Each structure stands twice: as C-alpha cells, then as structure tokens.
Amino acid sequence: MLIQRPRRLRKSQAVRDLIAETRLSISQLVEPVFFCEGNQIKVSIITLPGLFRFSPDLLLKHLEGSLELGIKSFALFPALPENKKNSQASESLNEKGLVPETIRLIKKTFPEATIFTDIALDPFSSDGHDGLVQDQKILNDETVKVLAQMAVVHAQAGADFVSPSDMMDGRVGAIRKSLDENNLIETGIMAYSAKYASGFYGPFRDALGSAPKFGDKKTYQMDTRNSHEAIKEVGLDIEQGADIVMVKPALSYLDIIAKVKQNFPQTPLAAYNVSGEYAMVQAAAARGMLDLDRVILEVLTSIKRAGADIIFTYHAREAAKLL
C-alpha cells in the first residue's frame, strides 16, 4: 500500500486546475512597444520576429488591438533618429519630444491604458549609454539630475509609472523628490532595481539602434555572478520610494526573482522577459524545434512561480490569446 500517491492530483485537467499553485492572468502582463517619429510607419524588427516599430498613429492602432485582447499595460520604448541624439541626451527633456507627445496621444485615445515609460538616456545619447559620458566614464550624479527632470516631463504628459532602467545610484530618490516638488504625487516609480549586464538585451538594442558606441554597461548594470547585491539594490530602491521593483532579465535570474520576493514580500515585483529570451523562443519555434504556444505559457508560468507579480513580455499578445 502507498499512503501518498501524488499522481492522484494529476489525474485530469480539472483536478490539475483545481490545485494549481500558479495562475497566469492577462491583467499582470505588460506589453513593451517600440515607436518612432513619422506617419504610417510600421517596420519589422528583424531580431524580434513578429514585432514592429510604429509611428505614433499606427502605434495607436496596435494598442487598440492589444486592449481588445485584454492587455491594459504598456511599456514605451522610443527609437530616435541619429540626428536627434547628442552627448547631453538633451532630446530626453524636450516637452514636445516623441515620448511626451506619444504619451499624451495614448492617454487621450485610451485613458484606461496604463503607461510605463523608460527613464534612461540611451535612446537619446550619441554614446549609446544610459548615462552622461565623460572621458569614457559614465557620470552618476550628473546623470541623475537629468533623469529626475526627464521623469517630470513624462509624468506631466500622463505617464502612470516612470521606470528608471539606468542603474545609476540614488536615482529613485531623486526622481521621487522632483516628482513631488512638481506636485506629481500620483505618478508611480517602477524601478529596474536588479538589472544585470546581460547579453540578452541584444535584440532590443538592435530594435532601437541604441547599442553603446564604446565599451559595455558593466560599470552600472549588475554582475551576473551576484545575488546578495540584488537584495541590496532592491532594498535601496524601496527606501528611496520605488512603488514596484523589477528583476531583469527573467529566465536566467529566476533565483533572484525568488530571493527578492522572499526578502520584500510587501513590494510588488516585476520581472522582464527580455528581448533575447523572446528571440530564442521565436527562433527555435520558427525552425520547428519547439511548440511556440506551449513554451510561451511555460516561460511565463515559471516567472510567476518564481515570485514575480508582474511580467513585462513581448509574448503578451500571443499569451493573451492563450489565456
């Protein structure tokens, strides 16, 4: 006789659904979208099969489709022409720039959509780094001043959450302070707190033409070999006013997601299923090496099971159709 037979709880789909510990919900997905200046533009991104860079008018059409599928939250990533970039990343502070204008357009058309905007200088910087550069060094405090102003520009345009992804020290506190000084108390901060220097960002940088022009991002993004440091970073961001914290990338860092959730269960935790993770799955599926739908659900479920509350994923629309 066997007293315990775990297979009894796997006997049918209904029983498995009854006892499932992890549940995926569309309401916890955030769809990242790429956009550029112009009109009637929809360009395929070669390294991210199935994804496009849209001009604002066609971005609206795309968002309408996503909203119909039940996706309500979006992360905006601008692609700027090289002639709008400079060493001071000054276009990042233009109140009439591509990002604030697009936020206003989306908010006017779809007030129900929740908008996350990226706070970092790389799309605007001729150096392709997240911060200001001097003598090939990434300046911290000077960068933080710009980021704090940039957050105000996005918040005034209607962003729901500004999302510092730059990994400068002290940026969350500085952003919270400048938002509050400008009476933007309702704008939240979703901090990319444990963001690793990762090879999995490659396709994203291709999508935006934002790869660093020299060196890499290892003096500000975290070292893959560390996990205690992730706890330190998340703790600092919460102390400084982050409403939501993030671990990025997701799949090679599931242990970090689990640790952060254990240490800070009271703070909503996001994980970013990044561009390289998406590209790997799409490339293998395109070659018939795996079943796309099944793997998408497995990937997203594993990120939730590890402890994420919110998932940023390029699979959002495909997943929404499956859920």
Stretch that binds ligand PBG, among 2-10, 78-86, 118-126, 153-161 (CB under 6 A): 118-126
Q: Is 61 a catalytic residue?
A: no
Spot the catalytic one: 85, 217, 248, 304. 248
CA R_g for the chain: 20
122 touching ligand PBG, by CB under 6 A: yes
Binding mask 173-212 for ligand PBG (x = CB under 6 A): ----------------------------x--xx-------
Structure tokens at 79: 């692609």
- Our CB check for ligand PBG shows the closer of 56 and 78 to be 78
Residue 118 sits in the site that holds ligand PBG (CB under 6 A): yes
The CA dihedral of 91, 97, 98, 99, to the nearest 10 degrees, is: 80
Smallest distance, ligand PBG to C-beta of residue 208, A: 8
**Alpha carbons 64 and 135: distance in angstroms, whole number:** 45
Q: Out of 127, 130, 233, 237, name the contact with ligand PBG by CB under 6 A.
A: 130
Please check whether residue 115 is in contact with residue 160, taking contact to mean a CB–CB distance below 8 angstroms.
yes
CB of 186 to ligand PBG, least distance (A): 24
Q: What are residue 236's phi and psi, to 5 degrees?
A: -60, -45
Whether 248 is catalytic is yes
Q: How many residues form the binding site for ligand PBG (CB under 6 A)?
A: 12
**Contact call for residues 228 and 235 (beta carbons, < 8 A):** no
CB of 252 vs ligand PBG, minimal distance in Å: 12
- Half-sphere exposure (Cβ direction) of 302: Cα atoms closer than 13 Å: 13
Residue type, 165: S
Please report whether residue 127 would count as binding ligand PBG according to CB under 6 A. Answer: no
Which x/- pattern, by CB under 6 A, does the window 138-167 give for ligand PBG? ---------------------------xx-
Q: Which two tokens stand for residue 116?
A: 């996350």
Q: How far apart are CA 187 and CA 210, in angstroms?
A: 27
Q: Where are the beta strands (DSSP E) in 12-86?
A: 29-36, 42-44, 52-54, 73-79
Binding site for ligand PBG (CB under 6 A): 118, 120, 122, 130, 165-166, 201, 204-205, 217, 274-275
Instruction: Report, as residue numbers or ranges, the catalytic residues.
Output: 195, 248
